[in-house]
Structure 1
Amino acid sequence: MPLSPPSPRTARHIRRVNYQGFERDDGLWDIEGELHDSKTYDLPSLRHPGQLRPAGDPIHHMWLRVTVDGDLVVRAIESAMDAHPLAGCPEAQRALQSMVGASMVRGWRQSIQTHLGGVAGCTHLRELLFNLATATFQTINAAFKSRGDEPPRHLGQCTGWDYHGEGVRQHYPRFYQQPKKLQNK
C-alpha cells in the first residue's frame, strides 16, 4: 500500500542507497553498499568555488565492499568515492581498515562509532556501514540459526520478532515467551 497523497511540494534532494550480498566461492561473503546524493537544482560547488554543480550531478557517490566470514566477522573492507563535496573527503577511507576484525553480531554500531566516529571517518560511509549489517543478516542464512541454547540474533530486535509475539511462537517455538498478563492467569 503506498503512502497517502502528499500536499503540494517540490523535490529538493534525492538519496539512493543500495545494498547487495554475494556468496563467494572461497566461503566468504561480500556485502556491497552504494550511496548516491543529488539535488534537483544547481548549487555552488564546494570543491570548485565559482562553479555550479548541475542539478542531478552527485554530491556524494560512495561505495563499500565488506567481506565477512560465516561468523559475521569483517575480513576485508574496500571503499570508493566517485563523488564527494570536499577535497579532503577521500582521506576518511583509510580509517575504514580499523573495522577489519569487527563483528556484526553484537556491538556493530558501537564499533563503527569507536573506530570511525567524529573526524576519523566520513558520515556517509558510517551510514552505509550501519545498515550494511542488516543486509549481511539478510544475505547469510546462518545468521538466523540458533546456536545451542542461544536464540537467533534477530529475535527480540523488532516488533515482528518479539519473544512474546506470533512470529516467534510460529517459527521459533523453543524461544517463545508468553506475554506477562497471560502468564499470571
Structure 2
Amino acid sequence: MPLPAPTPRQLLHKRVVQCWGYRREDGLWDIEGRLVDTKTYPFPNEDRGGAIQAGEPLHDLWIRLTIDSQCLIQAVEACTDGAPFALCPAITGRYQELVGVRIGPGWSQKLKELFGGTSGCTHMTELLGPVATTFFQTLYGQRYDEEDTKPAAVRRPPPVLNTCHALASDSLVVKNRWPQAYTGSDRETNDHNRPLLEGCIT
C-alpha cells in the first residue's frame, strides 16, 4: 500500500541510491553503490560552467568494495562523476583507507573516524551505509536461500537473530523458521507476534 495522498506540493530534490551485490568467480564479493542527487530547477554554480541545470546531477558518486567471506575489505574503487565543486573528486583516493577494514559491529563509528569532517565526502560516506547492508543481504541472503531448502528443524539460526522486530527470538517468524532458536512460549503474547495494520496509520 503506498503512502497516503499528500497535500499539494512541488518536487524540489531527488536522491537515488542504488546498490548491487555480486559474487565473483574468485570467491570474493563485489558490492557497488551509486548515489545521484538532482533538483527540479536550475541554480548558479561557478565550478560547473555557471549553473547546474534541472535534472543534471548535483552529485553522482560511485563506490565498489571487494570483500572476502570474513567481511574484510580487500579493495576499493571510488569515483566522483558529478559534484558541486571542482575540488570534490580529490577526496576519493582517501577511501582506499577502507582496505583491511572489516564490515561488522562498529562500522559506522569506523567511518566517522576515517572520513568525518574534512577527511571525507559526506555523501560518499553516507553511501557506505547501504553498501554495507547490501553486502550482508548478498552474502547472507544466499546462505538463507540455501538454508530454506532444508527442513526447519535443521536450519541454522541466522546471525541477524534479535536484530529487528521480525527476527526477535520469541517471534512467530523464528518459531516457524528456526524452531531450535525460539525462546518464546505458546502461552504468551508479545509485541513481536501481534498482527500489524497494513499501510500507514493516519
Fold match (TM-score > 0.5): yes
Match of 2:20 in 1: 20
Match of 2:134 in 1: 135
Using the aligned pairs only, state the percent identity.
38
Q: TM-score, normalised by structure 2?
A: 0.80
Give 1:155's match in structure 2, choosing from 145, 148, 161. 161
Give 1:164's match in structure 2, choosing from 142, 166, 170. 170
Q: TM-score, normalised by structure 1?
A: 0.87
Q: SS at 1:159's partner residue?
A: coil
The number of residue pairs the alignment matches comes to 177
Q: CA RMSD in A?
A: 2.2
Q: 1:2 aligned to 2:8?
A: no
Residues 1:136 and 1:176: Cα distance change in structure 2 (over 3 Å): same
| Aligned residue identity for 2:10 | T
Q: Which stretches in structure 2 are left out of the alignment for 5+ residues?
A: 148-155, 190-202
C-alpha distance in structure 2 between counterparts of 1:57 and 1:48, whole Å: 11
Report if the CA contact (8 A) 2:48-2:84 is conserved.
no
| Aligned residue identity for 1:3 | L
Match of 2:39 in 1: 39
Q: 1:112 aligned to 2:118?
A: no
Post-superposition CA distance 1:87-136 (Å, at most 9, x none) = 22112212211111111122211111111111111111111101111101
Q: Which stretches in structure 1 are left out of the alignment for 5+ residues?
A: none
Residue 143 of structure 1, CA deviation: 6.7
Q: SS at 1:65's partner residue?
A: strand
